[in-house]
């Protein structure tokens, strides 16, 4: 378990140790701020092959802005993205909940909404981790 209440140096060292033993595939970050800076620093490579890591920002509990070293960014095989409704305006949220979602459910109930999917059982998740979407089909992991 990684504790965020420790010193920055101890936190970075702990993440680096974890990453060396079992390379980190994905980070889902609800904190951002200083914690994200420390995580990204811990992933920094030193001239050799780097394991690809996906970093998904979901929240910003500890701050909305980070400083990211260009050297650090160049040394990591990193996919950085965000996920969440927090960046939507009130008008967009209102439209989503008052019009889009009700219409979507109505179309689904009338069998007029069809989404092409590829279903994969959870136990096969490793086999499809890097799989590209197939002609716009959505990947569904069956639990």
Domain membership of residue 120 (yes or no) is no
SS3 133: coil
48 assigned to some structural domain: yes
Q: Per residue in 61-111, pLDDT tens? A: 888 999 999 988 888 899 998 887 777 788 988 999 999 999 999 999 999
Residue 47 belongs to what domain range? Answer: 8-84
What is the model's pTM?
A: 0.62
| 124 belongs to a structural domain | no
Closest CA to 63 of 83, 86, 34, 33: 33
Q: Tell how far CA 33 is from the center of its chain.
A: 16
Q: What is the pLDDT of residues 94-106, one digit of tens each?
A: 999 999 999 999 9
Residue 117 lies in a domain: no
CA dihedral defined by 69, 10, 44, 19, rounded to 10 degrees?
-150
Residue 125 within a domain: no
Could you tell me which of 64, 63, 8, 18 has the C-alpha nearest to residue 41? Answer: 8
- The number of distinct structural domains making up the chain is 1
- Contact between residue 58 and residue 36 where contact means Cβ atoms under 8 Å apart: no
């Amino acid at each position: 378990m990684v504790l965020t209440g420790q010193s920055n140096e101890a936190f970075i060292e702990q993440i680096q140790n974890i990453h060396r033993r079992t390379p980190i595939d994905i980070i889902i970050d609800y904190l951002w701020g200083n914690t994200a800076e420390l995580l990204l620093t811990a992933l920094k490579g030193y001239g050799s092959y780097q394991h690809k890591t996906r970093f998904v920002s979901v929240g910003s509990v500890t701050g909305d802005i980070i400083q990211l070293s260009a050297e650090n960014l160049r040394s990591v095989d990193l996919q950085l993205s965000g996920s969440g409704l927090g960046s939507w305006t009130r008008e967009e949220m209102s439209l989503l909940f008052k019009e889009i979602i009700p219409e979507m459910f109505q179309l689904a109930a009338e069998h007029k909404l069809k989404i092409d999917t590829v279903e994969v059982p959870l136990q096969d998740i490793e086999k499809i981790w890097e799989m590209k979407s197939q002609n716009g089909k959505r990947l569904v992991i069956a639990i």
